[in-house]
Amino acid sequence: MTECYDERQLRAYLDDALPTPEQLRLNTHLGNCSHCHARLDELREQMQQVHALLAEPITPPDAYGALTRFQQRHLWNTVGASAEAVPAPDTSWSTIMSTKTPFWNSPARRIIVAVVALVALVGVLMLPPVQTLADQLLQIFRVQQVVFVPISQERMDELENLNFDGNLFVSEPTVLNESEEVEVASAAEAAAAVGYPVREPSSLPVGITETEFRVYDDMLVEFQVDVVGVRSLLDLLNITDVEIPDALGEQPVQAAFEPMVGSSYANESYEVVVMQGRSPELSLPEGVDLRQMGTVLLRVLGMSPEQASEMANTIDWNSTLVVPFPQDISDVQQVQVNGKPALLMTGNNLSEGGSYTEDVQIYWQDGDTFFVLLVSSLDTEIIDALSIAESMY
- The reported pLDDT for the residue numbered 49 is 58
Number of Cβ atoms within 10 Å of the Cβ of 343: 20
Asked, for residue 45, whether it belongs to a domain, the answer is: no
pLDDT digits (tens, 9 = 90+) for 118-170: 444 444 333 322 222 222 223 445 667 777 788 888 888 887 787 766 666 77
Lowest-confidence region among 81-85, 178-182, 185-189, 235-239:
81-85
- The reported pLDDT for the residue numbered 69 is 39
36: left (phi over 0), alpha (psi -120 to 50) or beta: alpha
How many whole angstroms separate alpha carbon 86 and alpha carbon 82? 7
Asked, for residue 378, whether it belongs to a domain, the answer is: yes
Asked, for residue 12, whether it belongs to a domain, the answer is: no
Q: How many domains does the chain have?
A: 1
pTM score, whole prediction = 0.63
Asked, for residue 28, whether it belongs to a domain, the answer is: no
> Which residue, 284, 282, 322, 278, is CA-closest to 133?
284
pLDDT digits (tens, 9 = 90+) for 282-328: 777 777 776 777 888 889 888 999 999 888 888 877 677 777 777 76
Asked, for residue 11, whether it belongs to a domain, the answer is: no
Lowest-confidence region among 142-146, 265-269, 366-370, 387-391:
142-146
Asked, for residue 228, whether it belongs to a domain, the answer is: yes
**CB contact set of 373 (below 8 Å; sequence gap of 6+):** 272, 273, 274, 360, 361, 362, 363, 385, 388, 389
Directed axis angle between helix 7-14 and helix 34-53, to 10°? Answer: 60
pLDDT digits (tens, 9 = 90+) for 39-55: 888 878 776 655 554 44
State the sign of the Cα–Cα–Cα–Cα dihedral 205, 206, 210, 215: positive
**CB contact set of 135 (below 8 Å; sequence gap of 6+):** none
- The reported pLDDT for the residue numbered 61 is 35
Asked, for residue 354, whether it belongs to a domain, the answer is: yes
Q: Specify whether the CB–CB gap between 128 and 281 falls below 8 A.
A: no
How far CA 329 is from CA of 104, 308, 345, in Å, comes to 30, 23, 10
**23 band by pLDDT with thresholds 50, 70 and 90:** confident
Asked, for residue 36, whether it belongs to a domain, the answer is: no
DSSP output for 316-381 = -TTTEEEEEEETT-TTEEEEEETTEEEEEEEEEEE-TTS-EEEEEEEEEEETTEEEEEEEEEETT-
Name the phi and psi angles at 391, rounded to 5.
Answer: -75, -5
Q: What integer best gives the mean pLDDT of the chain?
A: 72
Residue 110 pLDDT exceeds 50: no
Domain that holds residue 169: 57-390
- The reported pLDDT for the residue numbered 268 is 84
